[in-house]
Structure 1
Amino acid sequence: MNALISGSLTLSLLHALIPSHWLPFVTIGKTEQWSVRQTLMVTALAGLAHTLSTTLLGVLVSLAGWQLAESYHELSERAIPLLLLALGLWYLMQHLRHHHVHDHIDAGTIRKNRSFSALLLSLIVAMFLSPCLEIEAYFLSAGAKGWFAVLVVAAIYNVITLSGMLIMVMLGRKGLQHIDAHWFEHRENLITGLTLVGLAILNFFIEF
């Protein structure tokens, strides 16, 4: 259970800190001259849509884990680490191909809609349709351990991701956007891939 919690925390924090989850809200808010309160409200609603779709997908994945509960030992020793490793290698390949697959928001496209309600709806839809796949490995493992474990993973993911996004947007409004966040954006797949590979290697030796 400790590995399940620590892994969920790591991935949730990683996603909250990576620029694609907060920088678009800072840049759009600045362009549209939103107040801090408006920017945070939009971030919270769009972020909630993102975590909700990820959690709904996670519940479906948990059902598969529940079906495999009898073979949980083999699942935790082989299947979950291999899934994390496969995802990690896929992200590393995307980085090498210079293809940004995890950009949840195309800020330039969304800014074409000038009204506040249109922008808000566009951001919510974009985030809802872009669930994070990396955390699903932990939902699979949690499903095999029981619904309490699923609830723990869901709570960690939602709280950490939403809190992290709001904190980063607040920092961005105060000038963090002047730091070269694009360096992280261009290496987002590399960072995600290395994290997943590291978690896979760790979980080969530590059972979930």
Structure 2
Amino acid sequence: MSPSDLEQPILLSLLGTGFATAFLHAALPTHWLPFALVGRAQRWSLPRLLGAVGAAGLAHIVTTAVVGGLIVVAGLALDQWISGLLPWVSAALLFLFGVFYLTRATLRRPRTAGGPEFDLPEPTVTHAAAFWGLVAMMAVSPGEVLLPIYLSQAKEGLLVLGALTLAFAAGTVAGMSVFTLLARAGWSVLRLERWARYEGAVLGIALIGIGLLVVFHQH
């Protein structure tokens, strides 16, 4: 199935959901704080910093797409044996991920005494080593939150999955860039981290909502 086979509002809603989910996921401090700190330590210019953010974000999504593709292949193979199982499997995964993130965000205790101190490291490595280190850091950690969405759209075809991957890439790079730039501009790291703690709750609710939509679509 190609994007033209889907109703335009449905396709736009899917891509918008993919972008928003990826953007929210990029609010995790691991997606922007290392770039802000390394960029300051290396005294990187804004273009070089954003180049590192963009390259790392794309590497993150490439890994996610590869893992997502393997999940899609496995899911489609399973669906050939048990007709109609795939949407329910994807909905179950969305629910599980949603409940996991929502529960973790609910049970996480706020910091009461001060907060972590982030001391800038001395620029003891080359710019190339710092750049590729950041890229490798993101490349080896696929976005597990995005994987169930791949599975939920497995039957829609490669073009739809490709468009979804582009939405993930745009949301991830945009989110990483925004939060990195905010940190670089001098926003309080603790203040950003306090906001980012709610990312888990928002993401969990969003994933549960997507799971409900998948279930509703089967009726």
Indicate the larger mover: 57-66 or 188-197: 188-197
Q: Quick one: distance in 1 between partners of 2:83 and 2:18?
A: 18
Shift of 1:53: 0.8
Structure 2: 5+ residue runs without aligned partners? Answer: 1-5, 110-116
Shift of 1:148: 1.7
- Show the counterpart of 1:160: 171
Deviation at residue 132 of structure 1 after TM alignment: 0.6
Kindly report which structure 2 residues correspond to 1:1-208, keeping only aligned pairs within 5 A, or say none.
2=10, 4-68=14-78, 73-76=84-87, 78-96=88-106, 98=108, 111=121, 114-115=124-125, 116-177=127-188, 180-206=191-217
**1:181, distance to aligned residue in structure 2 (A):** 0.4
Equivalent position amino acid for 2:59 in 1:
A
Gaps of 5+ in 1: 100-106
Q: CA deviation at 1:157?
A: 1.0
Identity %: 26
Contact 2:63–2:140 under 8 Å retained in 1: yes
TM-score, length basis structure 1: 0.78
Deviation at 1:178, TM superposition (A): 6.0
Q: CA deviation at 1:54?
A: 0.8
Alpha-carbon distance in structure 1 between the residues aligned to 2:157 and 2:200 = 31
- Aligned partners of 1:64 and 1:140 also within 8 Å: no
Q: How far apart, CA to CA, are the structure 2 residues paired with 1:170 and 1:92?
A: 27
1:202–1:141 distance in 2 versus 1, CA, 3 Å: closer
In 2, Cα distance between equivalents of 1:192 and 1:114: 37
Please report the RMSD computed on the Cα atoms of aligned residues, expressed in angstroms. Answer: 3.1
Pair 56,177 (structure 1): closer, same or farther in 2 beyond 3 Å: farther
In structure 2, what residue type is equivalent to 1:149?
Answer: V
Using the TM superposition, name which of 118-127 and 48-57 deviates more.
118-127
Q: What letter is aligned with 1:185?
A: A
Greater C-alpha Rg: 2
Q: Distance in 1 between matches of 2:58 and 2:118?
A: 22
Instruction: Say which SS state the counterpart of residue 159 (structure 1) adopts.
Output: helix
Whether the 8 Å CA contact 2:33–2:180 is kept in 1: the answer is yes
How many residues matched? 199
User: 1:90-129: per-residue Cα shift (whole Å, max 9, x none)?
Assistant: 2233335539xxxxxxx97995773123322321221111
The alpha-carbon deviation at position 26 of structure 1 amounts to 1.7
Aligned to 1:102: none
